[in-house]
Amino acid sequence: MKKLVISVMLGSLLAACASEKPKEVAPAPVSTPASAPVVETKSAASAQTVVDPLNDPASILANRSTYYPFDVSVVQDADKPMVQAHAKYLAEHANRKVRLEGNCDERGSNEYNLGLGQRRADGVKKMLELGGAKASQLETVSYGEEKPRCTDHNEACWKQNRRTDLNYAK
């Protein structure tokens, strides 16, 4: 019995001596691409450089265009994660504003394309609002076929022109 009590006491003593306070780990430095603007943030504990996610090429927020099939104004499944990421960003940054610019390819009348471009911009606006952005942060405009990204007359080019662009205010 005496050996058992001594063994338990020695085990407890060793366990108490072995425990250490956890060491504080300094945050890893954040690398930034040469072209990405940085934002300096300082706290009482440390100074840290953070890349604005809107300008970080590795961020989903760097993508600012949704694309559509011919004569369609519904945001496509492939673009929904990007729009939802922008909605989250806008919800977390109430001071940021974005203009949603609806565009079309050259086919169709000017009036029809202006209406289609507006429906495209409004569809993105609705998704952003459902994701948490405030209506006061969003402005929509339709350029119809007036601001093409590509001027060739073929399907590959028209695909680039059927879009809604998200342009953040400076």
Is residue 102 over pLDDT 80? yes
* Domain co-membership, 46 together with 70: no
Per-residue pLDDT band at 4 (split at 50, 70, 90): low
| 117 located within any domain | yes
pLDDT band, very low/low/confident/very high, at 34 (cuts 50, 70, 90): very low
> Quick one: 81 and 101 in the same domain?
yes
- Domain assignment of residue 16, yes or no: no
- Residue 38 scores a pLDDT above 50: no
CB-based contacts of 18, cutoff 8 Å, min separation 6: none
Q: Is residue 87 part of a domain?
A: yes
Instruction: Dump pLDDT digits (tens) for 54-90.
Output: 989 999 999 999 999 999 999 999 999 999 999 999 9
Residues 39 and 87 in one domain: no
Q: Do both 97 and 154 map to the same domain?
A: yes
Query: Does the pLDDT at position 126 exceed 60?
Result: yes
Q: Note the pLDDT of residue 52.
A: 84
Question: Are β-strands 138-144 and 65-67 bridged in parallel, bridged antiparallel, or unpaired?
Answer: unpaired
User: What confidence score (pLDDT) does residue 2 get?
Assistant: 63
- Burial string for 42-81 (b: 16+ CB within 10 Å, else e) reads eeeeeeeeebebbbbeeeebeebbbbbeeeebebeeebee
Residue 14's pLDDT is: 52
